[in-house]
Amino acid sequence: MYKIIILVGLCATVCFVGCSSKKQKKEEVSKYAITSPLTTDTSIIKEYVSQLQSVRNIEIRAQEKGYLQEIYVDEGQFVKAGQLLFQIMPKMYEAEFKKAQAEAKAATIELQNTEALANKNIVSKNELAMAQAKLEQANAEVAMAKFHLSATEIRAPFDGTIDRIPLKVGSLVDEGELLTSLSDNSQMFAYFNVSEPEYLDYETHAKDRANPQVSLLLANNELLPYKGDVETVESEFDSETGNIAFRARFPNPDKLLRNGETGKIQMTVPLKHALIIPQKATYEIQDKIYVFVVDKKGTIKSRNIHVSSEMPDLYVVASGLSPKDNILLEGVQKVKDDDRIDYAYVAPRQVVAHLQLKTE
């Protein structure tokens, strides 16, 4: 009998402890954390798809017609300014140059003889002028023939890297035919398109930017170790896209970047009096973002908000909320409209203290 009483007492104790534990757990679960949007100065990083171009990229074409006699460089080779790249067979142009020199020499002798006769009044001054003009014409022919001969040697106009060479030795080259391209990759231009509102913000607040430089995210998702400077903005907007092109210049001492590459420009954009909320306080329905607003009685109502920018863990709210609104911080998947909850208020700065927020 004594053992039975002890057993019943133990069961009652266990039951009481279990019920108390469940009740306490239920109370803990039913109490939700709420907070308010934080108003602060911050900055975000915006990305823009960019196209990279060499500061100088030109096509090297033949100036004269003839057979390609020599190729002195290889594809991808770095060359110096003035270095010989190609040789067009010069035989015909050498002959024309010698012929022009001979005619110039004959015109010189003729002028000397005419001058001697003019001094003795044997010939008129007009004949002397004609001889002088004939010599000048012959000298012009020499200069032209010399130019044609020199054009059979194609040299690099500046330091750069040789592109593909489509022709081989022995090919018949027409005047103006493409031989290769030459790129000066010492520095690179990055072109990227910016929308009209972003352009206006940039021009209006350019002086207020803490960091006027931009970064370049490469195709392998690694950042270029060198910063770039936004140099120019094009003069007009694209009527089809509504965008305007920016150009940034990046140093390229390692010759990592090449003409035609792509990447993403990362621009730091300052935000004054931005309204910040944690992403975990939101939920999405059909690409729209919502929060639960909590009134003083603890009743919750869903509200659609417009997000202007996104940061890790955080949203910048453009409309739909005010700094005085209270929003549900956690448990957004456990409640629905018109539910009444018990809540505990958490200060906004305390909430974002553990999140990735960059303050100015």
Q: Is residue 234 part of a domain?
A: yes
Q: Is residue 233 part of a domain?
A: yes
Strands 178-195, 38-61: pairing is: antiparallel
Verify that 211 and 256 share a domain, yes or no: yes
Verify that 140 and 95 share a domain, yes or no: yes
**Which of these, 272, 292, 295, 273, lies nearest to 281 by C-alpha position?**
292
**Which of these, 344, 353, 270, 259, lies nearest to 313 by C-alpha position?**
353
**DSSP letter, residue 340:** B
> Tell me, what CATH number does 101's domain have?
1.10.287.470
Verify that 207 and 144 share a domain, yes or no: no
Verify that 197 and 263 share a domain, yes or no: yes
Q: Is residue 69 part of a domain?
A: no
Provide the pLDDT for residue 5.
Answer: 41
Q: Is residue 22 part of a domain?
A: no
Verify that 147 and 223 share a domain, yes or no: no
Mind listing the pLDDT tens digit for each residue in 21-37? 444 444 444 689 999 99
Verify that 267 and 195 share a domain, yes or no: yes
- 3-state SS class at 38: strand
Q: CA torsion, points 82, 85, 88, 90, in degrees to nearest 10?
A: 40
Chosen domain end from 244, 271, 298? 271
Average pLDDT of span 85-107: 86
Chosen domain end from 271, 290, 310? 271
Residue 199, domain extent: 46-54+185-271
Verify that 134 and 209 share a domain, yes or no: no
Q: Residue 263: which pLDDT band, with cuts at 50, 70 and 90?
A: very high
Chosen domain end from 239, 271, 303? 271
> From CA 192, how far away is CA 112, in angstroms rounded?
67
> Tell me, what CATH number does 248's domain have?
2.40.30.170
Q: Is residue 18 part of a domain?
A: no
Residue of 262 and 17 predicted with greater confidence: 262
Verify that 142 and 218 share a domain, yes or no: no
Mind listing the pLDDT tens digit for each residue in 210-256? 567 899 999 999 999 999 999 889 989 998 899 999 999 999 999 99
pLDDT at 357 over 80: no
Q: Is residue 40 part of a domain?
A: no
Q: Are 127 and 114 in contact (CB under 8 A)?
A: yes
Residue corresponding to tokens 């035609």: 260
Q: Is residue 300 part of a domain?
A: no
Q: Are 77 and 161 in contact (CB under 8 A)?
A: yes
Mind listing the pLDDT tens digit for each residue in 132-158? 898 899 899 889 888 888 888 999 999
> From CA 145, how far away is CA 94, in angstroms rounded?
8
Q: Is residue 299 part of a domain?
A: no
pTM above threshold 0.75: no
Helix then strand then coil, in percent of the chain rounded to 5, is 30, 40, 30
Average pLDDT of span 89-111: 85
Domain count for the chain, please give it. 2
Verify that 266 and 223 share a domain, yes or no: yes
Verify that 199 and 266 share a domain, yes or no: yes
